[in-house]
Amino acid sequence: MTFSTPQDIDPARYRLLWDAKEGPGPVIYWMSREQRAHDNWGLLLAQQKGLELKRPVMVIFCLTTEYPGATRRHYGFLLRGLAQLQKVLCDYNMILHLLHGNPEKTLPVFLESISPALLISDFDPLRIKLRWRNSILQHSRIPWIEVDGHNIVPCWQASPKREYGAYTLRPKLKKLLPRFLTDVPPLAVHPYSMSGITDTPINPEALLEQIQETSVGEVKWIIPGEKAAKSMLAIFLQNKLEHYSINRNNPCINGQSDLSPYFHFGQLSPQRVAWEVSQGPFTPETTESFLEELIVRRELSDNFCYYTPDYDKVSAFPDWAFKSHDAHRQDKRLYLADLAELEKATTPDLLWNGCQHQLREHGKMHGYLRMYWAKKILEWSQSPEEALSNAIYLNDRYSLDGRDPNGYAGIAWSIGGVHDRPWFDRPIFGKIRYMNQNGCRRKFKVDLFLQNLLEQSVMPETTLNGDDRQ
Ligand code: FAD
Ligand code: FO1
């Protein structure tokens, strides 16, 4: 067997969290946000270090059955992806080992038992991940390196502060993209084998039995795993990218890439997608609007969550929006929807109910409608606090790509003016950008959208007996 040595990874993609003397054991890669074998900077760095030190590479995934708000829908996608990944890693002579329980407890004990050379982990701006990381750091006795495998320009390199909007982050990214938007080197078969620890095969069905939250089932239209993610990308590049800028805002046409669940679970590398798109036989006009979403908007969301610890609270809203909401607290609401009504999609607004059905049954709402959906929740809530909390609850519970910086930023944009500007003052919304159904009707055929949902059995026929007063 021949082994190739991957080229050194740009040190700006990673940072040292803890410096210490290397242990005698393997290089450990604690995988969490980037659940893939290919195009994964964290795993490539683990291999680079393993080759330098002549050590095996072991991949650890800490599986907690209590990940906040996650349901069977999410765990099904995650575990089926991990089971495939384990087999692929085996072909590269690497072990994927699951640690069960809260990583704050299980990982330090495991590390103590194995005396690794060093630890490599994924960057993630979300609170739970920062808590896990910071708590485990207190026990660290080995070098620990964090890698940003999600953003093309590592989050801390792109900007040292919370950005006002796409218009302030975009020029910073553009300056750095020539350095960071590169091809990603292939993973090599690792020449040093692990002894003593075997990788117990991941059995998704058995593990799913342990998930308490079974009320939200798995969906069938999207296949989990790295291989299916690549197929979805190929379909997008071949059939959809060319018309993306025209079709992406039309919920009657399936013109989006549908890649967000793969990105959320790290089964596909955003950098791979950006690279393929930028190197493909496409005109700049074709690629521009897609890369704006994939790079600028997505990396703006990570910037928001990383530099705004209260990213899911109204205190994260910009000052003008916060004051404007305060000035409109007493405005009379013509209609109020509580969480149960929202969740069951029984409001008087048929389009909104359709959006909620799409979210609940399909597990992914069309991107354009997500704005309408969230803004209506603001209009129908007693306070912006209630609106924010209900929107996040529903998005995280039902959306396959939920519980993601993109979700927190998208909801904060819709309800709290984050990354937006003040608009004309109006009841309830104050200066937050307004959206209503007439605007949607000008953009796309609302009735056709609802009809499609009926035909796909995403929405029951009885829904149409509602009273569409909005
Ligand atoms: P495509 O249009 O094909 O875009 C490709 C990729 O670009 C996406 O996968 C995503 O990574 C990125 N992208 C596209 N639009 C945005 C955007 N507005 N902001 C940031 N990145 C973007 N996205 C999630 O990933 N998870 C969520 O939970 C989520 N919740 C949202 C809630 C609201 C209220 C709003 C307004 C937006 C939300 N978004 C969320 C952002 C966006 O709607 C989705 O990323 C997109 O619809 C995903 O579908 P796609 O992959 O087919 O998108
Ligand atoms: N990450 C983990 O490291 N361990 C888990 O058990 C885990 C469960 C989980 C369930 C649903 C979900 O949406 C995400 C989950 N994640 C888990 C995190 C996920 O893989 C992503 O890293 C983040 O959600 C992206 O920020």
Secondary structure class of 250 (helix, strand, coil): coil
Position 221 in a domain: no
Q: Is 158 in the pocket of ligand 2 (CB under 6 A)?
A: no
Q: Determine the distance separating the centroid of ligand 1 and the alpha carbon of 261, expressed in angstroms.
A: 10
pTM higher than the cut 0.85:
yes
End position of a domain, from candidates 150, 179, 208: 150
Do residues 321 and 266 share a domain? no
End position of a domain, from candidates 126, 150, 174: 150
Domain with 12 in it: 1-150
pLDDT digits (tens, 9 = 90+) for 281-332: 999 988 999 999 999 999 999 999 999 999 999 999 999 999 999 999 999 9
- From 61, 72, 208, 403, mutation site for ligand 2 pocket: most ligand atoms within 8 A of C-beta: 403
| Per-residue pLDDT at 196 | 79
Is pLDDT at 274 greater than 60 in this prediction? Answer: yes
Do residues 399 and 266 share a domain? no
- Residue 57: what residue type? V
Q: Residues 382, 386, 388, 393: is their CA dihedral positive or negative?
A: negative
End position of a domain, from candidates 275, 309, 343: 309
Position 399 in a domain: yes
| Per-residue pLDDT at 1 | 32
Pocket of ligand 1 (CB under 6 A): 248, 256-260, 263-264, 293-294, 297-298, 301, 367, 370-371, 374, 395, 399, 401-402, 404, 406-407, 410-411, 413-414
Number of domains in the chain: 3
Pairing of strands 57-63, 118-122: unpaired
Q: Supply the CATH number for residue 443's domain.
A: 1.10.579.10
* Local confidence band at 464 (pLDDT 50, 70, 90 cut-offs): low
pLDDT digits (tens, 9 = 90+) for 231-248: 999 999 999 999 999 999
Among all bound ligands, the one having the nearest atom to the CA of 61 is 2
Do residues 268 and 417 share a domain? no
Is pLDDT at 373 greater than 70 in this prediction? Answer: yes
Q: From CA 86, how far away is CA 408, in angstroms rounded?
A: 31
Among all bound ligands, the one having the nearest atom to the CA of 151 is 1
CB contact at 8 A, 346 and 353: yes
Do residues 300 and 321 share a domain? no
Do residues 108 and 4 share a domain? yes
CB contact at 8 A, 421 and 142: no
Please report the DSSP string for 316-343 in residue order: GS-HHHHHHHHHTTTPPPS----HHHHH
Do residues 353 and 428 share a domain? yes
Q: Determine the distance separating the centroid of ligand 1 and the alpha carbon of 290, expressed in angstroms.
A: 11
**C-alpha of 252 from chain center:** 24
> What is the residue whose two structure tokens read 């190197």?
279
**C-alpha of 195 from chain center:** 35
Position 203 in a domain: no
Position 209 in a domain: no
Do residues 381 and 350 share a domain? yes
pLDDT digits (tens, 9 = 90+) for 50-67: 999 999 999 999 999 999
* Local confidence band at 348 (pLDDT 50, 70, 90 cut-offs): very high
| Per-residue pLDDT at 7 | 67
Q: Determine the distance separating the centroid of ligand 1 and the alpha carbon of 367, expressed in angstroms.
A: 6
Do residues 359 and 282 share a domain? no
Q: Supply the CATH number for residue 19's domain.
A: 3.40.50.620
Residue with more model confidence, 35 or 197? 35
The closest of 272, 263, 267, 265 to 298, measured between CA atoms, is 263
Do residues 441 and 330 share a domain? yes
User: If DSSP states are collapsed to H, E and C, what string results for 176-235?
Assistant: HHHHHCCCCCCCCCCCCCCCCCCCCCCCHHHHHCCCCCCCCCCCCCCCCCHHHHHHHHHH
Is pLDDT at 194 greater than 50 in this prediction? Answer: yes
Q: From CA 165, how far away is CA 228, in angstroms rounded?
A: 33
Is pLDDT at 468 greater than 60 in this prediction? Answer: no
- From 304, 373, 406, mutation site for ligand 1 pocket: most ligand atoms within 8 A of C-beta: 406
Is pLDDT at 83 greater than 60 in this prediction? Answer: yes
| Per-residue pLDDT at 224 | 98
Q: Cα separations (Å) of 73 from 178, 251, 332, 362? A: 38, 23, 38, 10
Among all bound ligands, the one having the nearest atom to the CA of 265 is 2
Q: Tell me the two tokens of residue 214.
A: 């079974």
Give the phi and the psi of residue 71 in degrees, each rounded to 5: -120, 180
Pairing of strands 14-18, 144-147: antiparallel
Do residues 276 and 341 share a domain? no
Do residues 279 and 358 share a domain? no
| Per-residue pLDDT at 77 | 98
Q: Supply the CATH number for residue 295's domain.
A: 1.25.40.80
Do residues 400 and 368 share a domain? yes
Among all bound ligands, the one having the nearest atom to the CA of 30 is 2
